[in-house]
Amino acid sequence: MTDSQKRGGEKREKLVAGAAEMLYRHGVEATTLARVAEASGVPAGNLYYYFKTKDDLVRAVIDAQAAQVRAMLAALDGRSGDPVVRLTGLVRRWEDMRDVVARHGCPLGSLVSELDHRDDGLDVEAARPISRILDWAEQQFAALGADRPRPLAITLFAGIQGGALLANALRDPEAMSVEVRHLEAWLESGTGLCK
Amino acid sequence: MTDSQKRGGEKREKLVAGAAEMLYRHGVEATTLARVAEASGVPAGNLYYYFKTKDDLVRAVIDAQAAQVRAMLAALDGRSGDPVVRLTGLVRRWEDMRDVVARHGCPLGSLVSELDHRDDGLDVEAARPISRILDWAEQQFAALGADRPRPLAITLFAGIQGGALLANALRDPEAMSVEVRHLEAWLESGTGLCK
Amino acid sequence: MTDSQKRGGEKREKLVAGAAEMLYRHGVEATTLARVAEASGVPAGNLYYYFKTKDDLVRAVIDAQAAQVRAMLAALDGRSGDPVVRLTGLVRRWEDMRDVVARHGCPLGSLVSELDHRDDGLDVEAARPISRILDWAEQQFAALGADRPRPLAITLFAGIQGGALLANALRDPEAMSVEVRHLEAWLESGTGLCK
Amino acid sequence: MTDSQKRGGEKREKLVAGAAEMLYRHGVEATTLARVAEASGVPAGNLYYYFKTKDDLVRAVIDAQAAQVRAMLAALDGRSGDPVVRLTGLVRRWEDMRDVVARHGCPLGSLVSELDHRDDGLDVEAARPISRILDWAEQQFAALGADRPRPLAITLFAGIQGGALLANALRDPEAMSVEVRHLEAWLESGTGLCK
DNA sequence: TATGAATGAGCGTTCATTCAT
DNA sequence: CATGAATGAACGCTCATTCAT
């Protein structure tokens, strides 16, 4: 349990959810604490009861992202034992998000981009959800019998992230779909590389 | 010629170069005009002779990026007539940048990510260099006889951008290289999809 | 019995003692009620059961100081009937505190200095312990037969307070000791002025 | 030339003078930059052109104090060659200030008291004017042929500072005068200690 | 009595931008 | 063309104090 999770409670969760939405839509810098508070109907000062600093709020949002990622991967694991099905399921999550991705980018990738310039630890923390997905994908490729599963995991997730970035840049959801279809075909074909 | 290109001169170019460096390393928000001015040895007020607003300076940096992209593509065109060689050349540019990409992200992609939240036109302008590369890659795939060259261009450049994002997130240049190798192999193999 | 003394109890005393320590080491402004509460292991809101306002807490600390001063003077009275011995005893209290005085100043004098700018009554109250010492010293000089004992009391205690201030400013306990030695010699010599 | 003196100009001096007055009358904590600015008729933001932080402004005030002290000592040196006359002149400065000292304390001593709790360097800097006076007084006692002039300097200035503190605590200028008269007599009598 | 939560006024500070010279 | 100075709106944050339970 990280420091930013210490104080629990419904209200805190609502604040984090509101902040996550705002961070995603307007970016970290453009999101002022006053507006986060207002959007959640609490006075500005009260935020500081739950989050000591703005960074701490961002950290809480990252933690919430991490939890969502964990839940997503667990759901994928639960739905099928076949690694190809699992990996395809991962890819389809971004297909499902194509419209919002075209408008605001991938929630995971854009946060990492925005926090990249920090020299506090926030940049590293933001990368953790991405890292976790990479590890999970690596396990799936390993289960498929790949000699070197890590590069395959990188290729898969790079495709997803790059597709999201392009869709966002072009404001065109189709770019995301194009890449998703490519990755699905690649997975079906045995990736042309493993074994 | 855009508004931000109106006034020429060496000093202006030096300012743009300094600003580009700063924007890339520290991000748009963290880059203050005072520091840009100071880094170039120019008094703060004088910046406004060359750039009417901060946005105008950012626009100038984007324009400079666009010019660099044009030059890069022209160089690629000049070096070989073979589309596969040309596309491989493109990919290798990111291999060459792998260390700085791991530290600060792709200069093109990270700027687009940072400016995505704007509702002024800056977000659209930042996407133009990326768009141009996509168009160029599409032409190369068309020259190779691909039925639907656009998806191939998207897959290629998504790979590059996603590799850069992952390398940056993980602070590991090797992620960039892994993806570069994958794309090169994909290009060599005929992309498994064209024709 | 002042308003701030109304409610008794061990817990209250512990709070006052903790607050006194904090006020002395960190100053009035830098001492937050939250930290006073935390240091004493009491929930923040609970302080307000014992002290209606922060000023009320400060007042309680001043009252505690006054009580300590009373006890000190009583002890001095009890140890000897000779006014010179008594006054020397007073001076030696500051010699005993020389190290902490060099670090944080005289507890009596520095509080008076800090509260001097108030226009509520706190400035006046903080002066009371000092006033009491002055009165006591005046009595001793009167017992020695001095025509005008008040100036002698002022000279004695001004020396103590000035020595403390200088020791604190220079962060050098020796300044305190130097002044103590001077005052002792002055007392022994008959102050050169009385009669 | 310290960092806080870099930007010169009349306006800066007026700001420092206004801040010094406010710091003296209301204390460091109670003096807000907004009020300093308002009192000098400048917008709040403009203060930051001259002083990077509030601490920097306080430092500038301390520097101004130091300059005044230097000027005072030089004037004392210029008026007479006799050390006793010089030292008496020093003491009389506080006699001249007795009313304001009774209201707000000694400008030198109260600032040192207020800044004592800091762990940045401000506490040390505030002590410098006091240190300088002590050094000067030591020289005068040395010129009188004292074996150990430092303790005499401490005794003299401790008397001044203690007298000021008592006058301030009691809100009674007479306490200052009483101590001044004592110190003058002590100086005239040969201090009873030198030689 | 006790307490976690809430409240809001106010602080120091930043910075894009403007302006007189 | 050049520049030092000015400007003010907005931000993150603190804290004494209140309140419902």
Residue with CA nearest C1' of nucleotide F2: B46
Per CB-CB distance under 8 Å, the chain D contacts of C30 are: 117
Per CB-CB distance under 8 Å, the chain D contacts of C26 are: 117
* Torsion-angle region of B41 (φ positive above 0: left; ψ -120 to 50: alpha; else: beta): left
The answer to whether A168 touches A99, Cβ cutoff 8 Å, is no
The tokens of A52 are what? Answer: 């000591």
Alpha carbon distances (Å) from A120 to A23, A28, B172: 18, 15, 18
- Measured CA to CA, the distance from residue B21 to residue A190 in angstroms comes to 42
C110-142 residue pLDDT tens = 999 999 999 889 999 999 999 999 999 999 999
- Measured CA to CA, the distance from residue B136 to residue B128 in angstroms comes to 12
**CA D7 centroid distance within chain:** 24
- Measured CA to CA, the distance from residue C146 to residue C4 in angstroms comes to 39
Q: How far apart are the first and last CA of chain B?
A: 40
The tokens of A156 are what? Answer: 């898969």
Å from the B155 CA to the E11 C1': 53
Confidence band for B151, pLDDT divided at 50, 70 and 90: very high
Least confident of A67-76, B42-51, D185-194: D185-194
Å from the B41 CA to the F2 C1': 13
Name which of C87, C59, C63 is nearest C73 in CA terms. Answer: C87
- Measured CA to CA, the distance from residue D16 to residue D8 in angstroms comes to 11
C1'-nearest nucleotide to the CA of C7? E1
Residue with CA nearest C1' of nucleotide E15: B32
Rounded to the nearest 5 degrees, what angle is found at the Cα of C114, between the Cα atoms of C108 and C115?
90
Alpha carbon distances (Å) from A51 to A125, C123, D9, D53: 17, 37, 44, 26
C with A: 3 or more CB pairs under 8 Å? Answer: no
Number of Cβ within a 10 Å radius of residue B48: 14
Handedness of CA B156, B158, B162, B164 (dihedral sign): positive
Confidence band for A190, pLDDT divided at 50, 70 and 90: confident
Handedness of CA A193, B170, B165, B18 (dihedral sign): negative
A56-99 residue pLDDT tens = 999 999 999 999 999 999 999 999 999 999 999 999 999 999 99
Quick check: D54 pLDDT over 90? Answer: yes
Per CB-CB distance under 8 Å, the chain D contacts of C105 are: 113, 116
Residues 6 or more apart whose CB falls under 8 angstroms from that of C60 comprise C4, C5, C12, C16, C19, C51
- The enclosing H or E element of C125 equals helix C122-143
- Measured CA to CA, the distance from residue B57 to residue B66 in angstroms comes to 14
The answer to whether B136 touches B150, Cβ cutoff 8 Å, is no
Percent of chain B at pLDDT above 90?
90
* Torsion-angle region of D9 (φ positive above 0: left; ψ -120 to 50: alpha; else: beta): left
Q: From residues 116-145 of A, list those within 7 angstroms of strand F by Cβ.
A: none
DSSP summary character for residue A147: S
Quick check: B4 pLDDT over 60? Answer: no
The answer to whether B132 touches B144, Cβ cutoff 8 Å, is no
The answer to whether C137 touches C90, Cβ cutoff 8 Å, is yes
- Measured CA to CA, the distance from residue D130 to residue A23 in angstroms comes to 53
Nearest CA in chain A to B129: A169
- Measured CA to CA, the distance from residue D15 to residue D61 in angstroms comes to 9
Å from the B176 CA to the F11 C1': 38
Buried/exposed D14-37: b ≥16 CB within 10 Å, e otherwise? ebbebbbebbbebbbeebebeebb
- Give the ranges where chain B is alpha helix by DSSP (H): 10-26, 33-39, 47-50, 54-79, 83-96, 98-104, 107-115, 122-143, 149-170, 173-188
The tokens of C32 are what? Answer: 């937050």
Those nucleotides of strand F lying less than 7 Å from any protein Cβ are 1-20
Nearest CA in chain A to B175: A154
Inter-chain contacts counted by CB atoms under 8 A, chains A and B: 142
- Measured CA to CA, the distance from residue A39 to residue A24 in angstroms comes to 14
The answer to whether C60 touches C16, Cβ cutoff 8 Å, is yes
Give me the pLDDT at residue D7, please: 62
C1'-nearest nucleotide to the CA of D46? F6
pLDDT tens for chain C, residues 1 to 195: 444 445 568 889 999 999 999 999 999 999 999 999 999 999 999 999 999 999 999 999 999 999 999 999 999 999 999 999 999 999 999 999 999 999 999 999 999 999 999 988 999 999 999 999 999 999 999 999 999 999 999 999 999 999 999 999 999 999 999 999 999 999 999 875 543
Per CB-CB distance under 8 Å, the chain C contacts of D175 are: 154, 158
Alpha carbon distances (Å) from B108 to B71, B113, B116: 15, 9, 12
Domains and CATH numbers, chain A: 1-52 (1.10.10.60), 58-189 (1.10.357.10)
